[in-house]
Amino acid sequence: MALINLTTSTDENFVNQVETLSGQKISECYQCGKCTAGCPFSFAFDYPVSQIMRLIQIGQKEIVLNSKAIWLCATCEACTTRCPCQIDVANVMDICRIIARKENKVKEKDVKLFYDIFLESVKKHGRIFEIEILMKYNLKSGKLLTDADLGPKILPKGKLNFFPVNIKGKDSVEKIFTRFVEGIKNNE
């Protein structure tokens, strides 16, 4: 890691922002590393989760928001479950993703793409339509053959429908999305 000039780069507003949005007190983290120890995706992270917590503590907004780790976190909540300081670490990671997205700093474009397609599908059908998600994701990400090998295995089991199955009251689900978007606009 390059030298961090704490005088010029510490962003206390970022610490406050994460604390307010997540409802977690970041200073309660004493850096024991238990979250990192149990994280199933640590192998793929650029910064292990305990270091993300440390970077937030010292207000390193740019490093945190530009990290891959916050996008690769699967929100499995092993960290949250085992944190001796009772910090909802997975929630903090989630908040970092939200802030990064708002600031157009998305290090893992495909992860964001997947979230978007997933939610779009839920909005449309009230639940997910798997094949639609698969196709859209593979096309838009340019990874045409991702998981294509799974097709022959799951098709005979009836796990994939070729036509969308809408839920009862999907309009109500759609309204949730509308209300959420309006809420954001009103807040802004």
Partner 1 sequence: MRIGVFICHCGSNIAGTVDVKKVAEEAKRFPHVVYSTDYMYTCSEPGQLEIQEAIKKEKLDGVVVASCSPRMHENTFRRTVEKAGLNRYMFEMANIREHVSWVGVDKEANTKKAIDLVRMAVAKVTLNQPLFPKSFKVNKNVLVIGGGVAGMQAALDCADGGLKVILVEKNPSIGGKMAKLDKTFPTIDCSICILGPKMVDVGQHENIKLYTYSEIEEISGYVGNYEVKIRKKATYVDWTKCTGCGLCMEKCPSKKAFDPFNEGIAPTTAINIPFPQAIPKKAKIDPNYCRQFIKGKCGVCAKICPVQAIDYEMQDEIVTEKVGAIIVATGYSLFDHTKIKEYGAGKYLDVITSIQYERLLNASGPTSGHILRPSDNKEPKTIVFVACVGSRDKSLGVPYCSNFCCMYIAKQAILTKDHIPDSQSYVFYMDIRAPGKGYEEFVRRAQEEYGVKYIRGRVSRIFKRGDKMVVRGSDTLLGTQVELEADLVVLATGAIAEEGARELAEKLRISYDPYGFYIESHPKLRPVETNTAGVFLAGACQGPKDIPASVGQGSAAASKVLSLFSKDLLESDPQIAHVNEMLCVDCKKCIQTCPYGAIEEKKTPMGKIVASVIETVCQGCGLCTATCPPGAIQLQQFTDNQLLAEVKAFFHA
Please give the residue ranges that form the binding site for partner 1 (CB under 8 A): 28, 30-39, 42-43, 47-48, 50-51, 78, 82-86
Give the shortest CB-155-to-partner 1 separation in angstroms: 36
22 or 80: CB nearest partner 1: 80
CB of 76 to partner 1, least distance (A): 12
Q: How far is the CB of 169 from partner 1 (least distance, A)?
A: 39
Shortest spacing between CB 44 and partner 1, in angstroms: 12
Smallest CA-to-CA distance from 100 within 73, 71, 140 is with 71
Nearest residue (CB) to partner 1, 72 versus 83: 83
- Select 79 or 117, whichever has its Cβ closest to partner 1: 79
CA nearest neighbour of 123 among 79, 163, 181, 70: 181
Which lies closer to partner 1 via its Cβ, residue 25 or residue 159?
25
98: tokens are 């939200």
The structure tokens listed for 31 are 């850096």
Instruction: Give, in order, the Cα–Cα distances in Å from 65 to each of 17, 47, 94, 164.
Output: 13, 12, 11, 36
The helices-and-strands tally (H runs, E runs) of the chain is 12, 0
